[in-house]
Amino acid sequence: MWSVRAKEMVKANPNRPGRRIVVVGGGPAGVAAAEAARAADPDAAVHLVAAEPHLPYYRPRLSHAIGKTLKIETIHIHPPSWYAERRIDVRLGRAATGIDTANRRVLLDDGTELPFTALVLAQGGRAFLPPVPGHDLPGVFTLRQWADLQAIARWAGAARRGAVVGGGPLGLEIAWALRRWDREVTVLEMGERLLGRQLDARGAEILKEIAAAKGIRALTGVTVEGLEGAERVTGVRVRDAGTLEAEFVIFAAGVVPETGLAREAGLEVGRGIVVDEAMRTSDPDVFAAGDAAEFQGRVFGLWSVAVEQGRVAGASAAGGRARYRPVAPSSVVQVLETGIFSVGQTDGPRVLVRDRGPRGYTRLVFEDGRLVGAVLIGDVQAGPRLKAAVDARTTVALRPDTTVEEVLHLLTRRGR
Amino acid sequence: MGKIVAKPEVCIGCHLCQIWCAVAHSRSRDVLKAFFYEDPPPPRIVVEERLPLTFAFPCRHCAEPDCVFACISGALHKDPQSGHVLHDESRCVGCYSCVMACPYGAIVIDSENRKVVKCDLCEGLDLPMCVARCPNQALAYLAEDGA
């Protein structure tokens, strides 16, 4: 009884106005932050400011949608009613242009000033476009936003031959989508290996074979010197390898955290906006989450991390005591219709390999009798068990003639 | 919220739950047709074998499902009415994030379709098929929490 009245008194007291929580960024971190803020404080005003003129959507679906018709409504994270039910004031197509930290206001590009008691910066990142000559020619794209997908679809719809720069998961997803759309496609990777973060040398070689079998040419260890063309891109100039003809070029060369606003506002910024485990920045009323945030020196750039960080940032902004629980990055991807699992080290003193080429590859890495890493290409069902075994640094007694099958059986025993 | 619970003490590791799960999610829903004339889908229930112990392991339909939080395509969702964790295959992009995120290993890769499948508690049937067909009653269905 008392507590109810006390709450009313707090609300009625004009000297204690309610919280105003402003979330900047309409990606998964922003949505999770707004949701968590509302859940933690039913009375706060919650604003969600998104630069794209669309309700937040599942961005990873974009690369799969090249060459297909996709309505954005079908990939919305939540329908419009979801925001209304939670009394989240959504401002679409509005970019934040500045933070007035002294007066606790966010400035928007339409001149609006949104006062806040707590601010969550969740603007994510932007696709990295290397500043090579010709990078601003028509026909050169990155894929990060819905508008990028539309632009690629329009351009590539009338083209036959394209190049993808970047042999990571996104680059290979884009290459496969283009190939499936019957476009000629070449992947250019600067590193020595496709999926360099996931694969060992032999695994990457197998993936190259898989790509070739699907009609995708992959060149590794190549440097893009520039893009050719006068009015529109006509080719990619590759060091020591001449010019590759291309009617369009898509860069999938990584993501740069969006930190401009935070930097101007004087917040501590490293690669991303530096946050503690409550997702608090160097300003106690400002929080950051997702691809824009740097936690313990790392910017993860992963969906599940963004969701979890967003939840914590939103709860913290509403006065909660949430703490970020690090999310283990998933160690499995599917590219070129092929499952690829990788965890821990890809090399070590003792390695067991089962190599059937594109039909399946298993690599188990041991150090001091413990499993310290694994790579699977093809059948990745054993992945979760192998990851658990690596995390637990499981000891495996190896004979000189122990086979991959024996170790798998031991570690992943499970009736199928 | 309904869920399936396993009783390892009476599980004999016969794998019939897997057979019937495949049948329940096959085109014909007939055991002979499914296995002789169709390619039966992968079972969505897993049988753990740590001999002498065995037990069947279905999805727990968690209150805070890690798989849903990890899903990058909106395919996995928790039905607000029933509380069931459901999977919309048409939205699945086969990234397998959920497979790695599930602490119970209850999400199964369908290598044929390069997507995942998971327990849907056989919506539309009185009892999930694995529960109905378990010869030793090692699987039970709880219609409500604690019921």
Its ipTM equals 0.83
* Domains detected in chain A: 6-126+255-317 (3.50.50.60), 140-251 (3.50.50.60), 330-414 (3.30.390.30)
Residues of A in contact with B102 (CB under 8 A): 384
State how far the Cα of A90 lies from the Cα of A78, in Å rounded to an integer.
12
What is residue B49's predicted lDDT score, i.e. its pLDDT? Answer: 82
Beta-carbon pairs below 8 A across chains A and B? 86
CA dihedral of residues A208, A192, A270, A308 (deg, nearest 10): 20
Domain range summary for chain B, segments of one domain joined by +: 1-58+123-142, 61-118
Select from A304, A384, A415 the Cβ nearest to the Cβ of B70. Answer: A304
Residue A414 at interface with chain B, using a CB cutoff of 8 Å:
yes
State how far the Cα of A387 lies from the Cα of A342, in Å rounded to an integer.
8
Mean pLDDT (chain B) is 90
Residues of B in contact with A334 (CB under 8 A): 93-96, 114
Give the mean pLDDT of B66-81: 93
A20-34, A389-403, B116-130 — most confident range: A20-34
State how far the Cα of B74 lies from the Cα of B77, in Å rounded to an integer.
7
Q: Exposed, middle or buried: residue A386 (CB in 10 Å: 0-12, 13-18, 19+)?
A: buried
pTM (two decimals): 0.90
State how far the Cα of A203 lies from the Cα of A220, in Å rounded to an integer.
14
Q: Is the pLDDT of residue A3 over 80?
A: no
**If you ran DSSP here, which 8-state letter would residue B86 be given?**
E
Q: Is the pLDDT of residue A12 over 80?
A: no
State how far the Cα of A181 lies from the Cα of A157, in Å rounded to an integer.
9
Please tell me the CATH code under which domain B1-58+123-142 is placed: 3.30.70
Distances in Å between the Cα of A105 and the Cα atoms of A23, A109, A165, A366 are 12, 13, 40, 55
pLDDT in tens, A337-369: 999 999 999 999 999 999 999 999 999 999 999
What's the CATH class of domain B61-118?
alpha beta
Sheet with A118-121: strands ordered across: A88-92, A45-50, A20-24, A118-121, A286-288
DSSP, collapsed to helix, strand or coil, labels residue A205 as helix
What is residue B142's predicted lDDT score, i.e. its pLDDT? Answer: 87
Q: Are A317 and A118 in contact (CB under 8 A)?
A: yes
Residue of A nearest to B114 (CA): A337
Tell me if B1-58+123-142 shares its fold with B61-118. yes
Cβ-defined contact of B73 to A385 (cutoff 8 Å): no
pLDDT band at A106 (very low <50, low <70, confident <90, very high): very high
User: How distant is the Cα of A56 from the closest Cα of chain B, in angstroms?
Assistant: 12
What is residue A413's predicted lDDT score, i.e. its pLDDT? Answer: 66
Question: Which residues between 379 and 398 in chain A have a beta carbon less than 8 angstroms from any beta carbon of chain B?
Answer: 379-381, 383-385, 387
Closest CA to A187 of A48, A335, A402, A11: A335
User: How distant is the Cα of B125 from the closest Cα of chain A, in angstroms?
Assistant: 25
Residue B114 at interface with chain A, using a CB cutoff of 8 Å:
yes
Residue B49 at interface with chain A, using a CB cutoff of 8 Å:
yes
Select from A74, A75, A381 the Cβ nearest to the Cβ of B109. Answer: A381
Q: What percent of chain A has pLDDT over 70?
A: 95
State how far the Cα of A206 lies from the Cα of A194, in Å rounded to an integer.
10
Strands (E), A153-223: 161-165, 184-189, 216-220
Residues of B in contact with A333 (CB under 8 A): 95-96
DSSP, collapsed to helix, strand or coil, labels residue A82 as helix
